[in-house]
Chains A and B, each alone.
Chain A
Amino acid sequence: MVVCGALVVPPWSSVYTPQDLSNRLVALDFGNGTAYAGLQMLEGAVPRQAIRTCSFDTSPAKRYTALMAGEFEATVLQEPWITVAEKAGCRLVSTTFFYGSWVADATVDADTYAAFIRASTAAVGRINADKRRYLPYFTREYQGYSEVDALTPDDFNLGRIQVKAPEPIPEADARWDWEWMSSWGLLRGAFEAEAQLNAAVQQAAHTGLQGIAALATSSCRSE
């Protein structure tokens, strides 16, 4: 799955570019991918020492409400709250996409994971054939929020909804992620590919090979 994250400011903000967020407070849900996407959008625009952040709730609904209440100057949102924010006149000063990665325990065998991939891949085909048909998935999770209930399919930018058939994670990508997280002090030690990626199971599952025994000791990640 490809996730869209947007760095959003309220309509009255004097911020028009990511650079304008230098030394301004940005609320992030640390521990989730959206927070790290937010950091990457910020560090692409301003020096790290000029990035000011605070921890805020996992719920994009709460982050949006607090943004509009002026509790901070920007936050990162995902759908359907990006669309809610746009409809309310907020500006998206930066938008990015990132992969969600599946993390598996050692009991997931290649046959099971292959079945998971086959189903996911079939779903990706259906979604890409008619994204509009699947928009209710984004809104029904927030049923009862008046801003979401007011959305119509025409409000959505379908280009922000991207799905892709799962693929094995390239080792170089995993290494880059590890080193980036380490550079923020979130991980310690050197990247060890064998500890993070089970190449045999990934390969077997993605190529449809059968009969691979359960993962021995390491976990399996796949995008």
Chain B
Amino acid sequence: MLKTMVIEPVRAFNGLDVLVARDEGLFAAAGLDLQFARPQPNDLRSTAEGTLANPVTNQGRLLERGEARMFQG
């Protein structure tokens, strides 16, 4: 039986291995049902709203809400 784990979405530049592993069935082969959380439109704030001292990031937001268990930082 596969274990399920939901993670925050990744892109190729920072998560190519994860995308390939998902598409080629490597997570399933390892016993994992890996799923990507789906951010809501209002989850996606622009980093332009932040500053060096007070950055705005979307990373970790879904984890904080309990909708994902890992994110790529």
Contact = CB atoms under 8 A, between A and B. Distances in A.
A105 B52 CA distance: 26
Interface residues of A, number: 47
Contacts of A4: 13
B38 to A, nearest CB: 16
Given A55-B50, A105-B70, A115-B30, A1 B57 contact: no
Interface core residue of B14, B34, B57, B71 (most chain A CB under 10 Å): B14
Contact of A104 (B47, B51, B70): B70
B32 A116 contact: yes
6 contacts: A30-B55, A31-B47, A55-B47, A102-B70, A112-B5, A120-B21
A126 interface: yes
A183 to B, nearest CB: 12
A172 B5 CA distance: 29
Interface string B25-69: 011011110100000000000111111110111111001000001
A1 B72 contact: yes
Contacts of B53: 185-186
A200 interface: no
A118 B55 CA distance: 34
Interface core residue of B29, B51, B55, B60 (most chain A CB under 10 Å): B55
A119 B27 contact: yes
A125 to B, nearest CB: 9
B1 interface: no
A157 interface: no
Interface of A: 1, 3-4, 28-33, 35, 53, 55-58, 78-79, 100-105, 107-108, 111-112, 115-116, 118-120, 122-124, 126-127, 134, 137-138, 141, 161, 163, 184-186, 221
Given A78-B13, A103-B63, A31 B73 contact: no
A108 B69 contact: yes
A134 to B, nearest CB: 6
A31 B57 CA distance: 5
B52 A55 contact: yes
Contacts of A122: 21, 26, 29-30
Given A33-B14, A103-B71, A221-B73, A56 B48 contact: yes
Contacts of B55: 30-31, 35, 55, 186
Contact of B48 (A1, A55, A108, A186): A55
Contact of B60 (A103, A161, A163): A103
A138 B17 contact: no
Nearest to A136: B12
